[in-house]
A = this chain, B = another copy of it.
Amino acid sequence: MPDVSPTKWHLAHTTWFFETFILKKFSPGYRSEIPQYAYLFNSYYNAAGDMHRRDLRGLISRPTVGEAQRYRASIDSHIDNLLSGADERLLDEIEPIVVLGIHHEQQHQELLVTDIKHVFAQNPLYPVFRGEARHSVRAEERTATECHPYHFIEFDEEIVEIGYDGRGFAYDNEGPRHRALVPAFRLATRPVTNGEYMAFIEDNGYARPEFWLSLGWMTVNDQRWQAPLYWTKHEGAWWNFTLSGFRPVDESEPVTHLSYFEADAYANWAGARLPTEFEWERAALHCPIEGNFVDDEKFHPRSLATSEKDGRLHQMFGDVWEWTRSAYSPYPGYRAAPGALGEYNGKFMCNQYVLRGGSCATSRSHIRRTYRNFFQPEKRWQFTGIRLARDPQ
C-alpha cells in the first residue's frame, strides 16, 4: 500500500522537518551529518528539494532503526541548543515553526499507528501490537450488546461563523474564519455501529449499485470489497483484525475503516445522507472533546453500549473520524503561505473529502472543533466511520 510508511521512516521524517525548517534556516553553521537524508525523508515538499519515491519507502534497509534513532537524538540536541541560546526575537520567529513541527509530529504518530495496523494485517502471522490475540471466542461473548437506537437532533437554518477563531494553534486550512449560511438539517445522536452496518451487508448492500456513487461502484467491484477493511468472515461470524489481534466484531462499537464510498452508500441505504462539514462544525460547538484518543493507548474506538438515551450528541470527538460529504476545498479568502510550509495543506485540495472529530489514534491535544482532516474517498486504513444526517422533515 503506497500510503503506508515504515515506522522508522515516520521517525526520521518528523526529525527531518525540524532539521529542514528550523536548523537549516536559523542555526548558523549547522551542517547535516548525512545530507542524503534530506532526499530520503522529504515527504512531499517540492520547494524543499527533490524527494524519494513514496512507494519505495518500504524497501530502504538503510538507515537502520538504530541509525534513525541516532539521527533523532542528534537533531533533538541541536534544537535544544538553538532554543536555549536564542534571544527573544529569534524565539518569536522560531516558535510558530516549532509548534507546527509538534503538530506535524502528532499527525505522524497517528499514521504510525494506522500503518503498523495495516502492515500487520498483511502479514500471515497476524502479529499482535498490544494485548492478547484470540483465536476463538465463546458463544456467549458473541451476543451483541444492545445500543440505544440513534435519533436525529434538529438544527434550524442559520448563518454561522466557520473556522479558526484565533485561540491556540490551527492549520492554515481552518481559516479564514467566515460566515456561512447553513440550511436547516438533522444530525444523528451517535455514530453508526458495527451491528447496524452488518444489516447493510446482510441486505446485500455491497452488491446493489443503486446505493453507490459511480466511482464507488467501480471501486467496490475492482477491489472486491464485501465488508469494512479488516473484517473477515470465519465460520459464519465476522471477525475484526485489531492491534490486539483478531476479535469477534463487537456490534456495539462504531463501525470503522470505511471508505467515503461505503459511508455514502450506507447513508443512502439508511434513507439518510452524510453531513456537510459546516453542519458538523456547527453541531459540535458545544460538544465536549472526549472519547478514546491515542493517549489512552486503547487503539480502538469506545463502545456505544454505555451511551445514554439523553438526546444529545455522543462521541463527536475521538473514537472514529467522521466522513462528511464536503469536498476538501479552500475557505473564502484562503491563500497558502509562500515557500515549502505553504505546501502543507493547500495543494491537496482536490479529490479529497473532509473528515471531522479525530479517532482513537489521534492525540487528544491535536483535535479541535474546526479541525479539517482529509482523505481520498477510497481510503480505508484510517479509523474512519459514519454519522448520519438528514434534511429537515
Contacts and interface: CB of A to CB of B under 8 A. Distances in A.
Most buried by B among A122, A209, A350: A350
Contact of A62 (B62, B123, B350): B123
B183 A62 contact: no
Nearest to A47: B210
A6 B122 CA distance: 17
A357 interface: no
A145 B257 CA distance: 57
Most buried by B among A39, A46, A47: A46
Contacts of A213: 347-350
B178 A179 contact: no
Interface stretch (A74-82, A106-114, A326-334): A326-334
Given A58-B59, A209-B46, A351-B377, A391 B332 contact: yes
A58 B123 CA distance: 11
A304 B85 CA distance: 61
A46 B217 contact: yes
A185 to B, nearest CB: 8
Interface string A325-358: 1110110110000000000000111110000000
Copies of this chain held together in the complex: 4
A348 B210 CA distance: 12
Nearest to A61: B119
B347 A127 contact: no
A350 B127 CA distance: 37
B183 A61 contact: no
A327 B215 CA distance: 15
A59 B260 CA distance: 27
A91 interface: no
Interface residues of A, number: 53
Contacts of A325: 329-330
Interface string A103-132: 000000000000000011011110100000
Interface in A1-56: 6, 34, 36, 39-40, 44, 46-47, 52, 56
A124 B215 contact: no
Interface of A: 6, 34, 36, 39-40, 44, 46-47, 52, 56, 58-63, 119-120, 122-125, 127, 159, 178-181, 183, 209-210, 212-217, 260-261, 325-327, 329-330, 332-333, 347-351, 377, 391
Query: 4 shortest A-B CB distances, which residue pairs?
Result: A327-B327, A46-B209, A181-B181, A214-B347
